[in-house]
């Protein structure tokens, strides 16, 4: 029976490696494996054989020597072949010229002086022409039409890499003039604030030019334009279209084929495009998008992508907001800005307040509130213990109901940790610890306070309206558990669940927030159970197996 | 990483050396988690890119493979999560939970097994050897292999499955012999 299961397992794995396995076969495969560590090991080793075959030098050696996957070997092999060829190649004979050619190339030339006639009329004409030219040049410099009239400021940039000729000039605060030539942004994002208050966010690679005080030309790349009422009429020109703002936010992209793509996000725009002999003018409203084909000039409907364009950037934090509605707090714990720039399996030590990998040992600590200097979005961290007054913010907010705990902690406050004792975090069979299912892992006793003002400053004009999270104790914790979950806003308890002893999803949180709220604090405490000795001699501490998870914790932004 | 200092050049060479040494094992790890060869190749590319960008965080003298496998693990998990939206993933969460510690443990023997494989390949012959060569050297698909060997597609899958199994048995014997010799 065991052999049959093994054979069947291997047959299914071969199909899976070729993407030829059906849903029913997948279910069968998992049934064969579930609860059978030896079969799982067999599967692991079987798959590794396939991988090793792909990497095998012997397998690769059956091709020509200099076509191996190792680039160094390839290069050396190629050079060896070239050297061998060099040694064995036939000498090539070059014919020498047999004619004795006259090699004299330069002959003396006699120059006869000539006196050209110059009339007075010619002289007067020359003088007048020179004066006129001088006046024209002076006029251009003193009354510039377009060129050298400054009309916009480079107000912000994130990871911007400019073409070499612009690098000295393009720094935050630089003034840009009309018709000063094309500008190349090779990578990153740059924001231009026009003097008429229109704001343009350019995403590289891009080439653009400021055509006039209310007009920008885009050769290729992406730009997002936010136009206040006083700047209505601001326009984006491309090779095959003009987009005129009618009081709105819109994005324009020139793709690799030269097509113009317009996405109107708010308000309305006017699109003028089509063949030069028969231009078309149409109004494009919020939620609509059009594509102007470079080759045919045809105008087509396309889906409006509200997240395609960077809409707000912050050079201090490197934040880029593309209209996402939620901000990942787990990412912030990992040192990020809430949009995926943080490190998974990384966190903050509650005693030092410093970024840290996960430690796994019982440690005692005082309940001092530590500020987190390295992270602008986190106010502080602590090991909660109501034995003494529990401070939970830099502004003096207190956690009045903080229970008395053992003062022990086991791990750091973690963003999406890897396996703990070989086990991933899981709530109701959803694995946490990846980009799609991030979590803040807080093994009791731990507390963290987020600075909502700092987070808010990334989105001028937007509001944080809600905190959302799944909460519970991971099903994968070894033994029984007992922990408390708390959520406080400016020191006021907005959620608590005490003595959670059931593993899995305990609650789905939706906590409303307002513009006046400053600090969001998450706390887990050890449930007040006392240390005890188990039958096997193991001393069970109060925090053991309190694997507390805030799953997919986000701040909703509107 | 900019290449404008001697220190940078040294770091870049070290990165290449470590990656070349460990890439086969990283690939094996990823393939076990995602199973599809094509997907494993894509994920490996992404992982290598991340390793390159974040090599500055690697503490020299520590275990590069362990460090690299963390990135591989998360990329594979990300891939699983994305795939769930459109298709079923191969291993369900229960099975994956059980698999992770086993996989971590087996990675320690990866070098020995790869060496053993080179010896075991010499012992293959006949259609088994042809099928493996066509699949992994010539990169033919199952239909092409079936036509060449005058087999049905199902027959080819069976043949490949048995051959992989034979190679695995051979590898395990060779490794066991080496361990016996090493420990006297």
Query: Tell me, what's the pLDDT at A78?
Result: 40
Set of chain A residues whose Cβ sits within 8 Å of the Cβ of B32: 43-44, 47-48, 51
Indicate if the pLDDT at residue A109 is higher than 70: no
* Candidate from B35, B117, B122 with C-beta closest to A17: B35
List phi, psi (to 5°) of A141: -70, -40
* Candidate from A47, A60, A436 with C-beta closest to B81: A436
Tokens in use for A134?
């001088």
CA angle in degrees (0–180, nearest 5) for A500-A503-A508: 75
Q: Would you give the distance in Å from CA B134 to the centre of its chain?
A: 19
The 10s digit of each residue's pLDDT in A135-147 is: 554 444 444 444 5
Set of chain B residues whose Cβ sits within 8 Å of the Cβ of A25: none
Q: How far is B148 from chain A (nearest CA, A)?
A: 18
Q: How far is B5 from chain A (nearest CA, A)?
A: 20
Set of chain A residues whose Cβ sits within 8 Å of the Cβ of B74: 344-345, 416, 418, 433-435
Cα–Cα nearest to A552, from A418, A415, A444:
A415
List phi, psi (to 5°) of A168: -70, -30
Query: Tell me, what's the pLDDT at B84?
Result: 64
Set of chain B residues whose Cβ sits within 8 Å of the Cβ of A416: 74
Q: How far is A470 from chain B (nearest CA, A)?
A: 17
Tokens in use for A458?
């990334």
Helices (H), A362-472: 452-456
A205 preceded by cis ω (within 30°)?
Answer: yes
Predicted confidence band at A202 (pLDDT cuts at 50, 70, 90)?
Answer: very high
Q: How far is A330 from chain B (nearest CA, A)?
A: 15
* Candidate from A35, A37, A426 with C-beta closest to B93: A426
Predicted confidence band at B86 (pLDDT cuts at 50, 70, 90)?
Answer: low
Do A425 and A433 contact (CB within 8 A), yes or no? yes
* Candidate from A11, A59, A436 with C-beta closest to B82: A436
Query: Tell me, what's the pLDDT at A525?
Result: 97
Q: What DSSP line would sit under A484-506, residue for residue?
A: EEEEEETTEEEEEEEEE-S-EEE
Query: Tell me, what's the pLDDT at B78?
Result: 77
Long-range contacts of A374-377 (CB under 8 A, 24+ apart): A374/A335, A375/A332, A375/A335, A375/A348, A376/A316, A376/A317, A376/A451, A376/A454, A377/A317, A377/A332, A377/A337, A377/A338, A377/A450, A377/A451, A377/A454, A377/A455
Cα–Cα nearest to A371, from A357, A392, A347:
A392
Q: From A19, which residue of chain B is nearest by alpha-carbon distance?
A: B36
Set of chain A residues whose Cβ sits within 8 Å of the Cβ of B16: 72
Residue of A430 and A62 predicted with greater confidence: A430
Q: Are B35 and A13 within 8 A, CB to CB?
A: yes
End-to-end CA distance of chain B: 48
B169 touches chain A (CB under 8 A): no
Q: What is the average pLDDT value for chain A, to the nearest integer?
A: 83
Residues 6+ apart with CB under 8 A from A96: none
Helix (H, G, I), strand (E, B) or coil at A409: strand
Predicted confidence band at A474 (pLDDT cuts at 50, 70, 90)?
Answer: very high
Interface of B with A in 9-28 (CB under 8 A): 16, 20, 23-24, 27-28
Helices (H), A364-429: none
Cα–Cα nearest to A343, from A412, A415, A411:
A415
Indicate if the pLDDT at residue B131 is higher than 50: yes
The answer to which of A102-116, A259-273, A494-508, B53-67 has the lowest mean pLDDT is: A102-116
Q: Tokens 């994005």 — which residue?
A: A251
Helices (H), A65-150: 71-88, 120-142
Euclidean distance between CA atoms A252 and A247, whole angstroms: 15
The 10s digit of each residue's pLDDT in A304-361 is: 888 889 988 877 767 788 877 788 999 999 999 888 888 989 999 999 999 999 988 8
A210-227 average pLDDT score: 93
Q: Are B35 and A47 within 8 A, CB to CB?
A: yes
Tokens in use for A370?
């530590």
Residue of A385 and B83 predicted with greater confidence: A385
Indicate if the pLDDT at residue A71 is higher than 50: no
Indicate if the pLDDT at residue B101 is higher than 90: no
Cα–Cα nearest to A551, from A470, A487, A475, A476:
A470
A23-27 average pLDDT score: 85
Q: From B44, which residue of chain A is nearest by alpha-carbon distance?
A: A51
Tokens in use for B130?
């042809």
Q: Are B70 and A345 within 8 A, CB to CB?
A: yes
* Candidate from A14, A29, A62 with C-beta closest to B90: A29
Do A433 and A417 contact (CB within 8 A), yes or no? yes
Set of chain B residues whose Cβ sits within 8 Å of the Cβ of A44: 32, 99, 102-103, 106
End-to-end CA distance of chain A: 59
Indicate if the pLDDT at residue A97 is higher than 60: no
Euclidean distance between CA atoms A204 and A186, whole angstroms: 5
Q: How far is B3 from chain A (nearest CA, A)?
A: 17
Q: Are A436 and B164 within 8 A, CB to CB?
A: no
Predicted confidence band at A120 (pLDDT cuts at 50, 70, 90)?
Answer: low
CA angle in degrees (0–180, nearest 5) for A46-A49-A50: 95
Query: Tell me, what's the pLDDT at A20?
Result: 84
For residue A513, CA distances in Å to A56, A517, B167 come to 57, 6, 61
Tokens in use for A454?
């700092």
* Candidate from A10, A433, A435 with C-beta closest to B165: A10
Residue of A124 and A317 predicted with greater confidence: A317
The answer to which of A154-158, A379-383, A517-521 has the lowest mean pLDDT is: A154-158
Q: Which of A8, A13, A43, A50 to mutate to test the interface with B (most CBs of B within 10 A)?
A: A50
Residue of A116 and A100 predicted with greater confidence: A116
* Candidate from A52, A63, A429 with C-beta closest to B24: A52
Cα–Cα nearest to B133, from B143, B147, B121:
B121
Helices (H), A241-381: 329-333
List phi, psi (to 5°) of A397: -65, 140
Q: From A421, which residue of chain B is nearest by alpha-carbon distance?
A: B101
Predicted confidence band at B150 (pLDDT cuts at 50, 70, 90)?
Answer: confident
Do A276 and A168 contact (CB within 8 A), yes or no? no
Query: Tell me, what's the pLDDT at A66?
Result: 35
Q: From A431, which residue of chain B is nearest by alpha-carbon distance?
A: B93
């Amino acid at each position: 029976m065991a052999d049959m299961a093994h054979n069947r397992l291997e047959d299914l794995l071969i199909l899976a490696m070729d993407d030829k396995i059906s849903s029913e076969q997948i279910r069968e495969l998992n049934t064969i494996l579930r609860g059978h560590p030896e079969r799982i090991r067999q599967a692991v080793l079987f798959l590794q054989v396939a991988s090793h075959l792909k990497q095998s030098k012997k397998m690769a050696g059956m091709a020509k020597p200099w076509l191996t996957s190792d680039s160094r070997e390839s290069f050396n092999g190629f050079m060896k072949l070239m050297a061998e060829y060099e040694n064995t190649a036939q000498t090539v004979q070059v014919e020498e010229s047999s004619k004795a050619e006259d090699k004299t190339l330069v002959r003396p030339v006699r120059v006869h002086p000539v006196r050209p006639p110059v009339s007075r009329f010619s002289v007067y004409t020359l003088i007048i022409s020179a004066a006129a030219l001088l006046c024209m040049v002076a006029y251009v410099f003193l009354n510039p039409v377009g060129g050298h009239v400054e009309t916009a400021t480079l107000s912000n940039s994130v990871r911007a890499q400019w073409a070499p000729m612009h690098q000295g000039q393009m720094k935050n605060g630089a003034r840009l003039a009309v018709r000063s030539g094309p500008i190349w942004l090779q990578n990153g994002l740059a924001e231009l604030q026009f003097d008429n208050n229109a704001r343009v966010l350019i995403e590289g690679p891009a080439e653009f030019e400021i055509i006039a005080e209310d007009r920008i030309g885009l050769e290729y790349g992406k730009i997002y334009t936010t136009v206040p009422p006083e700047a209505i009429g601001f326009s984006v020109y491309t090779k095959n279209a003009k987009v005129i703002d009618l009081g709105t936010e819109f994005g324009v992209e020139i793709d690799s084929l030269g097509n113009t793509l317009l996405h109107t996000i708010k308000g309305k725009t006017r699109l003028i495009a089509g063949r030069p002999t028969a231009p078309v003018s149409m109004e494009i409203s919020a939620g609509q998008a059009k594509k102007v084909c470079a080759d045919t000039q045809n105008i087509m409907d396309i889906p409006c992508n509200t997240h395609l364009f960077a809409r707000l950037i912050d050079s201090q934090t490197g934040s880029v907001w593309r209209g996402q509605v939620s901000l990942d707090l787990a990412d912030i714990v990992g040192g990020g800005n809430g949009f995926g720039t943080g490190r998974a399996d990384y966190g903050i030590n509650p005693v030092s307040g410093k970024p840290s990998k996960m430690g796994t040992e019982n440690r005692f600590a005082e309940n001092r509130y530590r500020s987190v200097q390295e992270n602008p979005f986190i106010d502080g961290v602590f090991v909660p213990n109501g034995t003494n007054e529990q401070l939970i913010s830099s502004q003096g907010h207190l956690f009045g109901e903080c229970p008395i705990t053992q003062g022990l902690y086991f791990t750091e406050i973690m963003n999406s940790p890897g396996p703990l004792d070989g086990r991933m975090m899981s709530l109701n069979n959803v694995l946490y610890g990846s980009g799609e299912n991030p979590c803040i892992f807080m093994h009791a006793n731990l507390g963290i306070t987020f600075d909502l003002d700092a987070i808010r400053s990334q989105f001028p004009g937007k509001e944080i309206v809600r905190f959302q999270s799944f909460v519970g104790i991971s099903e994968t914790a070894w033994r029984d558990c007992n922990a408390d979950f708390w959520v406080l806003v400016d020191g006021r308890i907005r959620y608590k669940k005490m003595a959670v002893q059931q593993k899995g999803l305990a609650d789905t949180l939706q906590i409303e927030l307002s513009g006046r709220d400053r600090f969001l604090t998450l706390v887990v405490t050890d449930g007040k159970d006392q240390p005890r000795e188990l039958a096997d001699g193991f001393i069970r501490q109060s925090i053991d197996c309190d694997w507390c998870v805030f799953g997919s914790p986000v701040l909703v932004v509107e | 990483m900019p290449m404008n200092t001697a220190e940078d050049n040294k770091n870049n060479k070290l990165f290449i050396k470590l990656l070349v040494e460990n890439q086969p094992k990283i690939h094996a790890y990823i393939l076990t988690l995602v199973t599809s060869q094509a997907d494993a190749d894509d994920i490996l590319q992404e992982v290598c890119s991340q390793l390159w960008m974040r090599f500055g965080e690697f503490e020299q003298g520590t275990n590069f493979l362990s460090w690299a496998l963390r990135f591989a693990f998360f990329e594979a998990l990300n891939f699983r999560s994305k795939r769930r939206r459109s298709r079923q993933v191969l291993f369900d969460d229960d099975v994956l939970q059980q698999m992770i510690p086993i996989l971590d443990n087996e990675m320690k023997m990866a070098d020995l097994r790869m060496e053993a494989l080179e010896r075991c390949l010499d012992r293959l012959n006949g259609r088994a050897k042809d099928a493996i060569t066509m699949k992994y050297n010539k990169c033919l698909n199952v239909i092409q292999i079936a036509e060449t060997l005058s087999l049905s597609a199902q027959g080819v899958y069976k043949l490949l499955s048995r051959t992989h199994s034979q190679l695995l048995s051979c590898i395990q014997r060779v490794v066991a012999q080496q361990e016996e010799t090493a420990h006297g």
